[in-house]
Amino acid sequence: MAPRNLSMSLVFLFTLFSLVIGHEGVGNSGKYPIVVSTWPFLEAVRAAWKAVDEGFNAVDAVVEGCSACEELRCDGTVGPGGSPDENGETTIDALLMNGVTMEVGAVAAMRYVKDGIRAARLVMQHTKHTMLVGDRAAAFAISMGLPGPTNLSSPESMEKWTRWKENHCQPNFWKNVLPVDSCGPYQSKDNMGLNKGVCSEAKAMGIIESRTSLVGPHNHDTISMAVIDKMGHVAVGTSTNGATFKIPGRVGDGPIAGSSAYADDEVGACGATGDGDIMMRFLPCYQVVESMRQGMEPKLAAKDAISRIARKFPDFVGAVVAINKNGVHAGACHGWTFQYSVRSPDMDDVKVFTVLP
């Protein structure tokens, strides 16, 4: 009986040990938590890392990180006080996505409220909708307790707008129009009988007018952040004040799930930045995550998503960063040199990675 009892005891202990090790593997494999963000927004990544390292879930950590970037007005392209539209006004786009539940909250073209990512979380928490826009988004956010109404312009943004007006409102986002004066209002050339029956040689050949003068690292720096928390759960978020000198009412890819960001707890996440008007037509982050689901490594998935856009728009400017559930991350870009930031358990501080086109 003694040998049999000893054997049973050893089996029991081995089974218990296996269960303990297995549970720890699910909760924290050693590669979590991890924070990844577009651009060298170091303080934003540090804020997200502090939150997730203290036990916050991925959604809340993303909010902390993006909110820090909004408060710091990262590069003048996140938060209030930057990227004036044609009327000199700053508006906010933001998105938050939970990779566990696939819930999304977003706000677009939001005026009067500076806290874009927190407004997006309120949409996720307190409505059955995915996105609210414009003044109604602001009214909702204020009703839910966010500060406002607030003038989102700043002396810097107004000075930039004034210089643009003095330069005859160039460059701008209009096409196939004629201005009444140098800064509009604009009229369609078709309505003036100038384009009837005419198909330009460029359009016939599928060539798209260059947009490089409109988009660059310092007027299109969306923060797109992904966090995997200690339990291995994934979330993403974005915040931006959009394209500088955009036509009022324009919404870019910032609040569009699958374009600026996407997360799936089973696979990983993606963040994007660049010419949102072009990128949102291809849903690059959805493409990246689905490619990783099919077995692609993050580097190849990122390159594939960017190449799909570049084939149609050779002059486009943009980038994506991908991370899978194993903590492997990579970026890809076109038209500019891209940098993204990472903080993981094996790092003493945020590390910036550079990606060449």
Catalytic residues: 222
Name residues whose C-beta falls within 8 Å of residue 317's C-beta, 6 or more positions apart in sequence. 211, 212, 215, 216, 220, 274, 275, 334, 335, 336
Cα separation, 164 vs 162, whole angstroms: 5
DSSP annotation of 322 reads: E
Neighbour-count burial of 255, counting CB atoms closer than 10 A to its CB (0-12 exposed, 13-18 middle, 19+ buried): buried
Of 172, 89, 181, the closest CA to residue 135 belongs to 89
Query: Is the four-CA dihedral 54, 58, 60, 66 of positive or negative sign?
Result: positive
Binding site, annotated residues for substrate: 250-253, 273-276
**From CA 312, how far away is CA 302, in angstroms rounded?**
17
Going by the annotation, the residues of the binding site are 250-253, 273-276
What six digits make up the tokens of 195?
């384009």
Can you read off the two tokens belonging to residue 241?
Answer: 């004040």
| Phi, psi at 291, each rounded to 5° | -65, -40
Q: How far apart (Å, rounded) are the C-alpha atoms in residues 317 and 203? A: 20
Helices (H), 210-351: 276-279, 284-293, 298-312
Using a 10 angstrom Cβ sphere, with 0-12 exposed, 13-18 middle and 19 or more buried, the burial of residue 179 is middle
Residue 225 φ/ψ, nearest 5 degrees? -120, 140
- Given a contact cutoff of 8 angstroms between Cβ atoms, the answer to whether 255 and 237 are in contact is no
Closest C-alpha to 77, from 213, 277, 274? 274
Residue 133 forms beta bridges with which residues?
108
